Structure 1
Amino acid sequence: MPHPRALEAVEIRAIAEDYRKAARNAIAAGFDGIELHGANGYLIDQFLRTSSNLRTDEYGGSRQNRLRFLREVVNAVADEIGPERTAIRLAPFLTARGMACPDILPTLLEAADFLQAKSIAYLHLVEADWDDAPEFTEDFRKDMRARFRGMIIVAGQYDMAKADWVLDNGYADLIAFGRPFVANPDLPARLMRGAELAELDGATLFGGGEHGYTDYPAMVDA
């Protein structure tokens, strides 16, 4: 088994260039844009958090140093395909898998300043969606909206009432639904009509067959 090691600075810069190439390839393949995965313990997220980033060079320590990789990746992608085609997903309240970080909220607010100045397409904030997850606080929503005035998408155990509350308060512009869409192929129509939602059978996820993917019934009109 390979033994994990910290990346050398030259390797980090090379990885930023890999993001650039991947974005270029995505546009060439016909995609409208790309969303960088900076959440849930993925590579960009690992650089942001004091719990995972133990570096002592220009990529570790201070907030600005821990934000360096995010800035380099966003700059590389935006320079390649345009900021209007570039977005990023962040997870402010993630604590799972040892990723709790006491400095993550102010770090992400500083990231928002950079992303606002860069005029990216949107910022996607994922909310922890397990039963005992930390609360996504209203104070943070206000602070983030004050820093980032572009398009904000939020996701994580939303129902219609919670979605309306977030939108009405201006904390986000769009709500993303994940699991409910799997069990409800006509989710928008159900939400518009206030219809009952089918329950997702989580045991069928990632199973490889059609059961649990294409056999959920559509709403029956009265």
Structure 2
Amino acid sequence: MLNALWTPTTLGDITLPHRLVMAPMTRDRSTPEGVPTEMNAEYYAQRASHALVITEGTQPSPDGQGYLLTPGLHSAEQTAGWRKVTDAVHTADGRIVVQLMHVGRIAHPDNTPHGRQPVAPSAVRPAGTMFTASGPREMPTPRALTTAEVTATVDDFRRAAAAAMDAGADGVEIHGANGYLVHQFLAGNTNQRTDRYGGSPENRIRFAVEVAAAVADEIGAGRTGIRLSPANTYNDIQESDTHQLYPALVRALAPLGLGYLHLVHFGDEELLDTLRGLWPTALVLNRAGADLPARAQDIADGRADAVSVGTLALANPDLVERVRSGAPLNTPDPTTFYGGGAAGYTDYPTHSG
């Protein structure tokens, strides 16, 4: 069944040699100014044999940052840093898209150079704590964006997408999942607005659709993807109308002709089938916790055009070669997932040496 992974395909304007994609994963190893480094370039180049490399979440503006040492795409220095990464991946014959992620309320001022209060659809404090340089801190109540600021944030995504292309990326993925800003507009507990961005599902999906339209207009729909995670409760998200909300969102996104939808799936097969039927272009599926044969079965059965993997790619820079040859896999080390140096980042061994 793994043979289903190895046929070529396309995600919009991006041609893939096979169907095993590297999922985006925050690694917290950029400079304090959000500039990717030579070590980041090495990390991504090591994994260039994946059909497509999707980068870690990258803030489109200073207010989009919430974690320590995450990269941005809103300054010339950051764009130059990303150019090192894309050049390294392309030299290794890979393809790379930059994921644009605005964290919204999942932030702490201590983790940002500007130290400002986080922004969000509404002033609703998230449960839990945020890791900072001085240890875990309770996340503060965010400031609600004004209607004009929402429009300005859409423009931030547009400018960051243009910067990604200037940096040599093959495309951009919009992070609309996992409880970050786009997802916060979708969910009822985080979006309590009374303007055109709040209330009905049609209003709550508006920000996601406007961001996708702006990015597609800037860099081309065929080089634009979006990641969604229906029913994901991560980062204190509560959805009460998932089966109404996500079909409405996918129907609204479909006319844009985006290159792909990247869906994080938690087991609602009925919803997956519904969204697959509504989506007109390629679908990349991340079936949380599933093994590779199950993921390959999704391709064979037509549920997905490609599948993405996270920690498997993190721990196995040569995952594609290992899976093809039946070689054993490295075990990921969770203690090195976030922050640090080369250990647990660029020093995972390849099977050949």
TM-score (norm 2): 0.57
Higher mean alpha-carbon deviation, 146-155 vs 201-210, is at 201-210
Shift of 1:216: 2.3
Question: What residue in structure 2 maps to residue 182 of structure 1?
Answer: 314
- Of structures 1 and 2, the one with the larger relative CO (CA 8 A, separation 6+) is 2
For 1:189 and 1:149, how far apart are their aligned partners in 2?
31
Letter in 1 for 2:282: M
- State the partner residue of 1:93: 231
Tell me the distance in 2 between the aligned counterparts of 1:90 and 1:208. 29
Residue 169 of structure 1: aligned partner: 301
- Pick one of 270, 274, 279 that aligns with 1:148: 279
Structure 1: distance between partners of 2:344 and 2:325:
24
- Kindly provide the CA deviation profile for residues 15-49 of structure 1, in whole angstroms up to 9, marking residues without a partner as x: 11111111111112211211111111111111001
State the shift of 1:10 in Å. 1.0
Which whole-Å CA distance do the structure 1 matches of 2:295 and 2:180 have between them? 27
**1:98 aligns to what SS in structure 2?**
coil
Alignment of 1:68-217 (within 5 A): 68-127=206-265, 135-155=266-286, 156-217=288-349
Give the conservation status (yes or no) of the 8 Å contact 1:93–1:136: no
**What is the identity, as a one-letter code, of the residue corresponding to 1:153?**
V
Structure 1 segment 6-85 matched on structure 2, within 5 A: 6-85=144-223
Amino acid paired to 1:147 = L
* Deviation (angstroms), 1:207: 3.8
Higher strand share: 2
**Match of 1:16, SS?**
helix
Displacement of 1:6 in angstroms is: 1.7
Identity of aligned residues (%): 41
Task: Give CA-to-partner distance per residue, 1:77-118, whole Å, 9 cap, x none.
Answer: 111111111111111121123202111332111111122211
Maintained 8 Å contact 1:20/1:77: yes
Distance 2:298 2:312 in 1: 18
C-alpha displacement at 1:57, in angstroms? 1.6
Deviates more, 1:62-71 or 1:159-168: 159-168
> Does the CA contact (< 8 Å) of 2:178 and 2:229 recur in 1?
yes
Deviates more, 1:91-100 or 1:39-48: 91-100
Secondary structure of the 1:34 match is: strand
Distance 1:219 1:29 in 2: 31
Structure 1: any 5+ residue segments left out of the alignment? 128-134
Q: How much has 1:220 moved relative to structure 2?
A: 4.8
Structure 1's consecutive aligned runs of 4 or more residues displaced over 3 angstroms after TM superposition are none
Structural RMSD (CA): 1.8
The C-alpha deviation readout for 1:187-212, integer Å capped at 9, x for no partner, is 11222233322211111222422222
Asked if the contact 2:223–2:258 (Cα under 8 Å) also holds between the matched residues in 1, the reply is yes
* TM-score normalised by the chain length of structure 1: 0.89
Contact kept? 2:179, 2:237, Cα under 8 Å = yes
SS of match in other structure, 2:235? helix
The aligned amino acid for 2:275 is M
2-side partners of 1:176 and 1:45: how far apart? 20
1:5 corresponds to which letter in structure 2? R
